[in-house]
Structure 1
Amino acid sequence: MTINLNDLNKYLDVAKEAALRAGVVLKERFRKLCPSMIDEKAKNDFVTEADKKSEEIIKSHIWSHFSDHDILAEESLAVRNASPLLWIIDPLDGTLNYIHGLPSFAVSIALEIEGELAVGLIYEPLRENIYSAIKGQGAFKNGKRIHVSRSNTLNTSLVATGFPFRIKDIIDNYLKVFKELFMHATGIRRGGSACLDLAYTAEGIFGGFFECSLSPWDMAAGALLVKEAGGEVTDFNGGNQYLKTGNIIAGSKGVHQEILKIIQEIFKN
């Protein structure tokens, strides 16, 4: 299908409007949740009324503009057409942070066209930061161009990660990777929001990021941001199947390669 830059800009504008509307609700309900507003989907995997309301707002806004588009969203997995345009939405990334009053969470919206990421947006409501990217047009924070870290070595970089709470049987290897990176990197941070970790990597705060067993909505927008900011994004095999495998490494070229080498060495055993 033929999509031009004007179309992509329109998609981005709609994503931005949707995220801002959802952000209003997230800010209003932050630190105001009671236990009845929180459900445990699986062990240590929670959803709140704020997640659900945010998703409802985003889906409604997108479908009010593009009723024939498909949507893949964390809380409802709603897909209703056979469209080549697929919106991938995390209405509240960092739910556990949100529940505990930790001010580190975001809205993530991406658009995939015929299987290729084309638009990505991450909105940080409390800081009112908007990270955005259109394929081939660069990455931006609040309208200003951003770039991955100029550092190309682990020993001068801060690295971000998360822990694989869904797949406990790989935790031993994961901790070996963590230890190896701890010995070589300037430091390691675990923020609790994969999409923000990727946004900060695109911005050059983190030199690199890795995590496994993620879902597409955790990383779709952030992956595009890092690539458009001049970085490398792969799965643990060095390929481009991260949205399918759930395993992702992102960062400046040199840091990405060092993390990839460590992960492949440890996970092959």
Structure 2
Amino acid sequence: MSRELDTAVKAAMAAGEITLGKFGELSSPEIMAKEFKDFVTEVDKACEAAISSLITASFPNDSLLCEEGTIANGSSGRTWIVDPLDGTLNFIHSFPVFSISIALCNPEGDILCGVVYQPLLRELFTAEKGCGAFLNGKAITVSSRTEREEFLVATGIPFKEYHYLESYMCMLKDVIRDSAGIRRAGSAAIDLAYTACGRFDGFWEYRLFPWDFAAGVLLVREAGGAVTDFGGNHNVFLRQSIIAGNATTHPMLLEKALDHFSEERSS
């Protein structure tokens, strides 16, 4: 394990302990609205402070991009991308699906290492570029399923932007016809981690933020899967719409995305 990944693991686990200390015990004053249907809690902020502190102490020349606003502009060209609590609404409602996501990117936009930690289950997903993906230290791979009637596919449903709702619903209907079931857990980082270890056969979501997907994208790729945007582009940071899956599910989902989100086609 590199020093970078070791730092990310320690930071994720420190944040995880903060979430465990407050899960199911949030009070109304600890919950704030950031914008329409988007919330932040004191736990998000405490987790972000713990993570950024540990990273900055170990790599003071690196930059930080965190969901709740912590930003540092370092000189190294590398950037840590952090979601201190992915699944905040779940956390607020004591729905036990949330995670901490931490990734490191180089100046060229390559994701060097990533961690997704699910504290309640003590599941730690880790990956380093070129070194494989792991769950609690054991190597993982994407699923090998090829029959559409067996696929379990994850997605994220639009909850505050409705201009693409019709396109999304049309794609959802198509995926329902070509799968055994759909799941919407409420944490894109978990969806991608579960795709990496074969629990989900694929995942798609339109318009995420880098902190939602950076670590999970590396997990899927290092687990032998494919990840692109809705236009088939490998650089998912450009459009920030994600399709992930194995050798069968990724092209299936990509075909449907191209049908229903034609504006996302590669130029």
> In the TM superposition, what is the alpha-carbon distance from 1:77 to its structure 2 partner?
4.3
Give the structure 2 partner of residue 60 of structure 1. 53
Give the structure 2 partner of residue 150 of structure 1. 144
Change (3 A) 1:166 1:82: farther
Are residue 183 (structure 1) and residue 177 (structure 2) matched?
A: yes
> Which among 134, 149, 153 is matched to residue 159 of structure 1?
153
Q: Which amino acid aligns with 1:78?
A: I
Give the structure 1 partner of residue 18 of structure 2. 25
Q: Which amino acid aligns with 2:242?
A: I
Q: Which amino acid aligns with 1:144?
A: K
Q: Which amino acid aligns with 1:208?
A: G
> In the TM superposition, what is the alpha-carbon distance from 1:76 to its structure 2 partner?
1.0
Q: Which amino acid aligns with 2:50?
A: I
Computed over aligned residues only, the root mean square deviation of the Cα atoms, in angstroms, reads 1.2
- 2: CA distance between counterparts of 1:179 and 1:231? 24
- 2: CA distance between counterparts of 1:154 and 1:49? 42
- 2: CA distance between counterparts of 1:86 and 1:226? 20
> In the TM superposition, what is the alpha-carbon distance from 1:253 to its structure 2 partner?
1.6
Q: Which amino acid aligns with 2:94?
A: G
> In the TM superposition, what is the alpha-carbon distance from 1:113 to its structure 2 partner?
1.2
Q: Which amino acid aligns with 2:241?
A: N
> Which among 231, 236, 239 is matched to residue 225 of structure 2?
231
Equivalent residues of 2:192, 2:219 under 8 A apart: yes
Matches within 5 A, 1:71-220: 71-114=64-107, 115-220=109-214
Equivalent residues of 2:15, 2:84 under 8 A apart: yes
Give the structure 2 partner of residue 39 of structure 1. 32
Equivalent residues of 2:60, 2:74 under 8 A apart: no
- 1: CA distance between counterparts of 2:234 and 2:262? 19
Q: 4+ residue runs of structure 1 moved beyond 4 angstroms?
A: none
- 1: CA distance between counterparts of 2:158 and 2:180? 22
- 1: CA distance between counterparts of 2:203 and 2:147? 13
- 1: CA distance between counterparts of 2:67 and 2:249? 30
Q: Which amino acid aligns with 1:188?
A: I
> In the TM superposition, what is the alpha-carbon distance from 1:245 to its structure 2 partner?
1.3
> How many correspondences in the alignment?
262
Unaligned runs of 5+ in 1: 1-7
Equivalent residues of 2:65, 2:81 under 8 A apart: yes
- 2: CA distance between counterparts of 1:268 and 1:18? 40
Equivalent residues of 2:226, 2:244 under 8 A apart: yes
- 1: CA distance between counterparts of 2:133 and 2:33? 35
1:158-199, Cα deviation, whole Å (9 max, x unpaired): 000011224210001101111111111010000000000000
Q: Which amino acid aligns with 1:127?
A: L
Matches within 5 A, 1:1-20: 9-20=2-13
Are residue 241 (structure 1) and residue 260 (structure 2) matched?
A: no
Unaligned runs of 5+ in 2: none
> In the TM superposition, what is the alpha-carbon distance from 1:155 to its structure 2 partner?
2.6
TM-score norm. by structure 1 comes to 0.95
> In the TM superposition, what is the alpha-carbon distance from 1:246 to its structure 2 partner?
1.7
Give the structure 2 partner of residue 5 of structure 1. none
Q: Which amino acid aligns with 2:69?
A: S
SS in 2 for 1:126: helix
Change (3 A) 1:121 1:109: same
SS in 2 for 1:225: helix
